[in-house]
Amino acid sequence: MRDRMDNPLPIQHNEGKSLGKVLMVQGTASHVGKSVLVSALCRIFRQDGFRVAPFKAQNMSNNSYVTRDGGEIGRAQAVQAEAAGVEARVEMNPVLLKPEADHIAQVVRMGRPMVSAQVRDYFGLKSQLWESVHTSLDVLRRDFDIVVIEGAGSPAEINLKATEIVNMRVALYSGAPVLLCGDIDRGGVFASLVGTMELLEPEEREAVKAFVINKFRGDASLLTDGLTMLEERTGIPVAGVVHHFRDIHIPEEDSVALDIPVRGATALADTLLDVAVIQLPHISNFDDFDPLAREPGVGLRYVASAGGFGKPDLVILPGSKTTIPDLEWLEAQGLAEAVRQHQKAGGSIVGICGGYQMLGARLYDPEGIESTRPEMEGLGILPLTTVFAGTKETHRIRGMVAEGSGLLSGAMGETVTGYEIHMGRTTGEGVGLPFRIEDRTDVPVTPASAYDGAMDETGRVLGTYIHGLFHNGMVRRSILRELARLKEVALPEAEQDGVIDAEFDKLADWVRASLDMDLIYAMTGLDRNFDRAGA
């Protein structure tokens, strides 16, 4: 602690008038709705004709995404970029921390793995990482009219403030006006907002220009006295109260979202297909399965114990940041045996990335890339071997379905897009090859890399390295139709693809109606009436 406080990073300022405008969303805690609010503001500014980009200096998440040039960033920033209508770039999230175990995380800098570091070692990297942070922000401000910045956690973590690179240091460097967001659904929102302000330094308090009360339920008039007292006590206006919503669906950033026991069909009678995702301790890219939860008749649940396994129609083994330790956990919980028995009974299984590796016969980690254990038996469901190597594969891909049996019946020839993020190399014989890769955006496709994944002879067990598989509507619905056929049920008609763009518009409308947008625009200095077409 003393070493960190004795060597604070200097506060820098760069408010160059030639750079684009900035607006920052910070929160009183994690999971108060910062990511969603940034997505909404990105879409609002886009709707109003501005070139807008998201930015988060440092993200801690195993939910990641691959940019067109093969860089890895937080999935939340990719979602925000989609809301802004722009291509995701590594500058939007220059530092990504991917937890591997307690006190250890892989540090991804500018889209590439830098080192796996313990918490204490990480503080020694802050100067290098800060250089990437402020340089990336400057690059985005040169390319866009406005950059909407997301903070992390709380700016009032006084034990971390000396070397933080994601909250007030970013705001003060860029001269960003700060919207401080509190979650009223948790309770104590007024104490959280006032307490945060009390713990800030004078220069930091000056940066906070407005409050946002998020996730409110009920009659907003009941808040009037509290809002008035908050404004009188702090001298800071409340920009708005955003009501809790249930019918707007955009990907969640935090694994806190997995605490919701069942998603999708809201009543037992509505659940025609039961999809169980194994909730691994180091689960990654859990938003891979969001499209399943939006399908009518499909109940999506996350399972962390053998007692909760039940009798699912489809078991999904998701991605994992640390495959071998998570496979050990799977065995210890009795879930590995539950998955094996499910397969032996003719059940259907899909393994994505780390889950694909677990389906195999054996996993090797001779260099200690993901574990201290050099080898381990897999679930033995597919005749595959995985060897972990030091080079991470991160690619955007486009391909097609190359097998038309089992879960992919009716999907032969359908287009598949997605992305790969993995350290392991998986090989095997005597399996079907479900996907043919036609394009990797950053590297050539070779004969050795032209196919992805594996299927058993029944077609009911499928493994792949492709994240985003279920975001491909025709493939997703083909899998669900086959599951429905096996169960002899009829699924309702599904919505058309492209729904996510409409969801961003719904979110923007919801937030626009909740916030004082005149105040927001005044904070940014953007001219709402500027004729960009004629500029």
Tell me the catalytic residues.
353, 467
Query: Strand (E) positions, 203-338?
Result: 208-216, 238-243, 262-264, 273-278, 283-284, 298-303, 314-317, 319-320
**Chain mean position to CA 238:** 29
CA separation (Å) from 422 to 113, 127, 370, 486? 12, 28, 11, 32
CA separation (Å) from 476 to 129, 288, 494? 39, 11, 11
Contacts of 452 (CB under 8 A, 6+ apart): 397, 399, 420, 433, 434, 435, 436, 437, 464, 465, 466
Contacts of 80 (CB under 8 A, 6+ apart): 35, 38, 39, 42, 54, 92, 148, 150
**Residue 251 backbone dihedrals phi, psi, to 5 degrees:** -60, 140
Q: Are 239 and 515 in contact (CB under 8 A)?
A: yes
Count of all residues that appear for the chain in the document: 535
Q: Are 370 and 100 in contact (CB under 8 A)?
A: yes
Tell whether the torsion through CA atoms of 337, 343, 348 and 351 is positive or negative. Answer: positive
Q: Are 503 and 510 in contact (CB under 8 A)?
A: no
Cα gap 68→74, rounded to integer Å: 14
Contacts of 357 (CB under 8 A, 6+ apart): 323, 351, 363, 378, 384, 386, 422, 424, 426, 463
